[in-house]
Amino acid sequence: MIKDVFTQPQIDFINQLVLDNYDKLDSRYSERGREDIVLTPNGTAAFENLNPIAKEICDRVLSYFDEGKYINAITYGEYTNKHTNPNLPPHKDPIHTKNGLTFDYLLDSNVDWPICLEGDCVSLEKNDAIIFSPCEQYHHRPEMIFNDGDYVKVLFFMIRTNQ
Ligand SMILES: [Fe+2]
């Protein structure tokens, strides 16, 4: 687990970006109790060009990886009971992300909903992240009832390897 990933100005930038794009919240994964906003709709380079802080955010994430990795996409995900109780049974992600890694970052939450890799569960606090291989490692979150107002807000940085 990685602690203290971003600085407060970087976190403020992310929160403002989410607010500015809140009308784009996508319910594609509503059966998981999650709604998403793709923060890199025009690619990561366009995201980095938004602001020096956006570039810092990407550089910070890549600093946790070996050379030759890049960020393919950044997605914001928000789990609440708006559509259904959030649920993430054990699974591996589809093969289209083969060799990919994910940098899962906890932006904010008001409940503790651990993330489990191959059955080992860890509780992330705000500004913590965990790296794993979503196509190769079973991952899930324990069954938990979300009450009205409970939320878990995450960022998924999808990491790929240069060919
Ligand atoms: Fe997954």
Could you tell me the residue range of the domain that residue 156 belongs to? 8-161
Does 13 reside within a domain? yes
Q: How far is the CA of 133 from the centre of ligand 1 (A)?
A: 9
Which token pair is 99? 């060799």
| pLDDT of 95 above 90 | no
What CA–CA distance (Å, rounded) separates 1 from 122? Answer: 8
Cα(28) to centroid(ligand 1), Å: 14
Percent of the chain with pLDDT over 90: 91
Neighbours of 57 (CB within 10 A): 28
Q: How far is the centre of ligand 1, averaged over its atoms, from the C-alpha of 62 (Å)?
A: 20
Mean pLDDT of 41-68: 96
In a domain? residue 30? yes
Residue 81 neighbours by CB under 8 Å, 6+ apart? 33, 146, 147, 148, 150
Question: Does the pLDDT of residue 163 top 90, yes or no?
Answer: no
Sign of CA dihedral 122, 126, 131, 135: positive
Inter-residue contact 157 to 133 (CB < 8 Å): no
> Can you list the positions of beta strands (E) in the chain?
34-38, 69-79, 88-91, 101-109, 115-117, 120-122, 129-132, 139-141, 152-161
Q: How far is the CA of 97 from the centre of ligand 1 (A)?
A: 10
Coil, strand, or helix at residue 36? strand
Distance 52 CA to ligand 1 centre (A): 30
> Ligand 1 center to residue 101 CA distance, Å?
11
Residue 45 lies in a domain: yes
Output the CA 50–ligand 1 centroid distance in Å: 28
Number of domains in the chain: 1
* CATH number, position 15: 2.60.120.10
- Give the bridge partners for 115, in sequence order: 122
Q: How does residue 29 score in pLDDT terms, banded at 50, 70 and 90? A: confident
Q: Is the pLDDT of residue 21 over 90?
A: yes
Question: What spacing in Å lies between the alpha carbon of 60 and ligand 1's midpoint?
Answer: 23
Determine the average pLDDT of the residues in 95-107: 86
Looking at the domain assignment, is residue 3 inside a domain? no
* Distance from the alpha carbon of residue 91 to the mean position of ligand 1, in angstroms: 6
Give the per-residue pLDDT at 97. 65
- Asked, for residue 114, whether it belongs to a domain, the answer is yes
| Overall average pLDDT of the 49-63 stretch | 97
For the segment 126-141, the average pLDDT, to the nearest whole number, is: 96
Percentage of the chain modeled with pLDDT above 70:
98
Cα 12 to ligand 1 centre (Å): 27
Confidence of residue 162 (pLDDT cuts 50, 70, 90): confident
What separation in Å is there between the alpha carbon of 14 and the centre of ligand 1? 22
Decide if 91 contacts 138 (C-beta within 8 A).
Answer: yes
Residue 2 lies in a domain: no
1 lies in some domain: no
